[in-house]
Structure 1
Amino acid sequence: MRIFTIGFTQSSAEHFFTRLKNSGAKRIMDVRFNNRSQLAGFAKRDDLKYFARTLCGMDYEHWPDLAPTREMFEQYKLNNGCWDTYAADFINLITQRQIEHLIKKQFSDACLLCSEHKPHHCHRRLVAEYLAGKWSDVSIIHL
């Protein structure tokens, strides 16, 4: 099973949708807490759903259970929190939520989307790695 990840900041719409279309992913799983922000540009919920379908032939789904809580996000992003603390807190959160019991087949060839440009300090990477640790035969591909 392949799980892709992608972020949209620091990317043009052309570059972003070309990477998605060429990836082999079948659906976008939006793992942002807030998928309607005006700061999201082309990646606002309704626009992204339209572009994914029209440009890439992909489905779009919002998965807030795979997002941090507002408090966690604000502590890390807005208050310059520590990545290691945020990552540990987020892993604890998705462990409590038991995300590995979600429908596994929905993750096959899915692309986890959030705003961070690179996966290094992003919760989408933590979700993918957590699931890869729980399920067999998972490969993670960061676009």
Structure 2
Amino acid sequence: MKRDQSAVQVASIGFTGKPARKFFDLLKGAHVRTVLDIRLNNTSQLAGFAKRQDLPYFLENLCNTAYVEVPELAPEPDLLKRYQAKKLSWENLRDEYFELIARRRVESNLDIALFESGCLLCSEHLPHHCHRALALEYLNSHWNNRLAITHLT
């Protein structure tokens, strides 16, 4: 099968449930050029090796990978709290998150080139119920399905 030459290769990854070795090996194996941090809270001690103050060092020295924060794709605290408290279904979270990033005009304000060989970072182990998958879905729908998405698990 021939790959679309205009496709932008992008990945997503969550750090929870992964030892550092697996996390960094997944990034290296996928040839990630830039990790795009879309977490709401990236300074928590619970983030371990993925804390904002440490991660750029590890990425550069272990993977030759850059680190960029992309707060435009982070959810608002109330949105996550309501979902975690089961006051919002996944479908309602999706709808409200899409409304939020539409108001932020992310499809116009973010350059698709930033995503080439990029990897969206969040905390959730799997992408199925994580806003990183929603962010990529939203952007792909606005960028004519130009994102070729791989979820690193």
TM-score normalised over the length of structure 2: 0.89
Give the Cα separation in 2 of the matches to 1:56 and 1:80.
37
Instruction: Say which SS state the counterpart of residue 51 (structure 1) adopts.
Output: helix
> Map of 1:21-36 to 2, 5 A cutoff?
21-36=28-43
Which of these residues, 75, 89, 100, is aligned with residue 68 of structure 1? Answer: 75
Question: How far does the alpha carbon of each residue in 1:55-88 deviate from its partner, in whole angstroms, 9 at most, with x for none?
Answer: 00000011111010011111112x1332111111
Structure 1 or 2: larger helix share?
A: 1
2:129 aligned with 1:124 = no
Question: How many corresponding residue pairs?
Answer: 142
CA radius of gyration, larger in = 2
Instruction: Say which SS state the counterpart of residue 121 (structure 1) adopts.
Output: coil
Task: Show the counterpart of 1:134.
Answer: 142
Instruction: Say which SS state the counterpart of residue 61 (structure 1) adopts.
Output: strand
Which of these residues, 89, 93, 118, is aligned with residue 110 of structure 1? Answer: 118
Instruction: Say which SS state the counterpart of residue 140 (structure 1) adopts.
Output: strand
Divergent runs of 4+, >6 A: none
Task: Show the counterpart of 1:45.
Answer: 52
Give the gaps of 5 or more residues in structure 1: none
Task: Show the counterpart of 2:5.
Answer: none
Give the Cα separation in 2 of the matches to 1:54 and 1:46.
14
Which amino acid letter does the alignment assign opposite residue 86 of structure 2? N
The Cα shift of 1:99 comes to 0.7
Instruction: Say which SS state the counterpart of residue 28 (structure 1) adopts.
Output: strand
Give the Cα separation in 1 of the matches to 2:99 and 2:37.
20
Task: Show the counterpart of 1:80.
Answer: 86
Give the Cα separation in 2 of the matches to 1:76 and 1:44.
23
Task: Show the counterpart of 2:3.
Answer: none
Q: Percent identity?
A: 44
Give the Cα separation in 2 of the matches to 1:125 and 1:59.
21
Give the Cα separation in 2 of the matches to 1:40 and 1:69.
19
Instruction: Say which SS state the counterpart of residue 127 (structure 2) adopts.
Output: coil
RMSD, aligned α-carbons: 1.0
2:22 aligned with 1:15 = yes
